[in-house]
Amino acid sequence: MVFQTSYFLGLAAILSPSQFGEYIIIASIILILSPFCGLGFNNILVKTIKTDMNQFREMFGKTIVSTIISYVMLLITGEIVVYIIFGSTDSALFILFLMLCFADLLCLKFNEMSSHIYIAKGLIRKSSNILTSISLVRFASVLIYYVLPINKEKTILIWSAIYLALALLITIYYLVRSLSENNYPKLNVNISKENIKEGIYFSIGLSSQGIYNEIDKSILGKFTNVEVTGYYGFAYKLIDLLFIPIKGVLSITYPKFFEVGIKLGIAESYKYAKKVIVPIIIYTSIVSILCFLLIDPISSKLMIGKYQESILIVKLLLPIVILRGIHYVFADALTGAGYQRDRSIIQLFVAMINFTLNIILIKVYGVYGAILSSVLSDLIMTVLIIYTIKKKIKSIRMV
């Protein structure tokens, strides 16, 4: 959390609000595309480790192959989207996307794969080291940028090149390590339609989640300007920082949901989720209140008023921290019990609602329309996930 916070504040400091807005838009595009890199095979790999270890080598190979092939296709798709949003043929934007896409899509996906393997095997410390290293690399990229005596006219491109080099090094290290510490993958494998079908369910769910989390930045960039998007993106990144400890809890509990859900069913998976949710609600409530009270003096001192326009946005977005803490846990309960398809349908439905609301509200209310759309979408997601779980439990008991 320290490295992530330092990286985020450091990057915001070296970039102007308009450059930061460009970064936010491109990063949002990558986050939306990210779930389709690997077609959800990282999640199937976790499931395989927890339920059928004999299939590990084959699924390990399928995960690597699907990640590389899908990355190439997503890279081309993303470059087209960048052109549509910015409406420009400026080569700097396409180069920026290319470098960030390699670092935050392909490299990150391989690092996530290594992390997932260790988490599923109960090696939490090793998984944590990978995730911490990713944050350290991001922080180091900003630090090195400050130290190196380089021409800093094209700030964002120079920083992204440094970041890419570091991300590539750390990815190679952990990929080699995960290969040496586990059974070697079978790379000459045939990926069946069933594998693709199951993986796509995971991809759709994660992508839908990414859409309603990130599409607002892209639409803001299209209908307002990159500076406004920079202020909004700065506020949203602060919300993401508050959520980092919850992501840690979710990473640890995720494999357990498969163990409980597949063996004992949705009722027990829901019961386990209710145990996990209690400390999460306590944490998110406390941290949201503290952020509301302290964000003004802290932000003004750290950023010297550079992103003062983001303060009110942060306060209005705080309900998201609590809502996501709730629906992420219960959504994992659905997945663990074998209902990933239902989860994906709900997430896709909410993504469509979010996209529609953003188009309508941003045109009328600008950045405040994006805030309202985000909060409403997370509220709808929470209600639908809990309703679906209770409906599943009720239908099983009736049978």
SS3 of 157-168: HHHHHHHHHHHH
Query: How many C-beta atoms surround the C-beta of residue 193 within 10 A?
Result: 7
Average pLDDT of 93-119? 84
CB 161 within 8 A of CB 99: yes
The pLDDT of 4-15, averaged and rounded, is 78
Q: Considering only CA atoms, which of 349, 16, 51 is closest in space to residue 159?
A: 16
Region 217-242: what's the mean pLDDT? 79
Share of the chain above pLDDT 90, in %: 14
pLDDT, greater one: 321 or 145: 321
pLDDT at 302 over 90: no
Q: Is the pLDDT of residue 61 over 80?
A: no
Q: What is the dihedral of CA 192, 198, 199, 204, to 10 degrees?
A: 140
Q: What is the DSSP string of 342-396?
A: HHHHHHHHHHHHHHHHHHHHHHHHTHHHHHHHHHHHHHHHHHHHHHHHHHHHHHH
Among 399, 380, 370, 373, CA closest to 326: 380
pTM of the model: 0.69
Rg (CA), the chain: 21
Q: What is the pLDDT of residue 16?
A: 76
63-89: average pLDDT: 82
Q: What is the mean pLDDT of residues 373-395?
A: 91
Q: What mean pLDDT is reported for the chain?
A: 81
What pLDDT was estimated at residue 292?
A: 92
**Mean of the pLDDT values across residues 113-127?**
77
Cα(159)–Cα(145) distance, rounded to whole angstroms?
A: 6
Q: Inform me whether the pLDDT recorded for 293 exceeds 70.
A: yes
Is pLDDT of 196 > 80?
no
Contact 253, 268 (CB under 8 A): no
pLDDT tens string 323-381: 999 998 999 888 888 887 888 888 888 888 988 998 899 888 888 998 999 999 999 99
Q: For residues 194-216, give the mean pLDDT.
A: 67
- 165 Cβ contact partners less than 8 Å away, ≥ 6 residues apart: none
Q: What is the pLDDT of residue 1?
A: 67
Q: What is the mean pLDDT of residues 244-251?
A: 82
| Angle, alpha carbons 132-133-138 (nearest 5°) | 100
* Distances, alpha carbon 228 to alpha carbons 16, 153, 366, 375, in Å: 12, 22, 9, 19
pLDDT attached to residue 376:
93
- CA-wise closest residue to 92 among 14, 155, 146: 155
Q: Considering only residues 163 and 338, tell me which one the structure prediction assigns the higher pLDDT.
A: 163
Closest-CA residue to 42 (of 205, 225, 222, 217): 205
The more confidently predicted of residues 141 and 125 is: 141
Backbone torsion region of residue 300, taken as left when φ is above 0, otherwise alpha when ψ lies between -120 and 50, otherwise beta: alpha
- For the residues 244-272, what does the mean pLDDT come to? 80
Q: Look at residue 122 and give its three-state secondary structure.
A: coil
| Residue 158 confidence (pLDDT) above 70 | yes
Q: Could you tell me the pLDDT band of residue 78, with boundaries at 50, 70 and 90?
A: confident
Q: Using 50, 70 and 90 to split pLDDT, how confident is the model at 199?
A: low
Which region among 144-158, 190-204, 343-357 has the lowest average model confidence (pLDDT)?
Answer: 190-204
What proportion of the chain, given as a percentage, has pLDDT over 70? 86
Better-predicted residue by pLDDT, 137 or 89: 137
Q: What is the pLDDT of residue 52?
A: 66
- Indicate the pLDDT class of residue 280, thresholds 50, 70 and 90: very high
Distance CA(133)–CA(286), nearest Å, equals 28
More confident residue, 211 or 323: 323
How high is the pLDDT of residue 118?
A: 79
Q: Which residue has the higher pLDDT, 180 or 332?
A: 332
pLDDT of residue 153: 58
Structure tokens at 355: 């996209």
In the predicted model, is pLDDT for residue 399 greater than 60?
no
Give me the torsion for CA of 381, 384, 389, 390, rounded to 10°. 140
Residue 258: its pLDDT value, please? 79
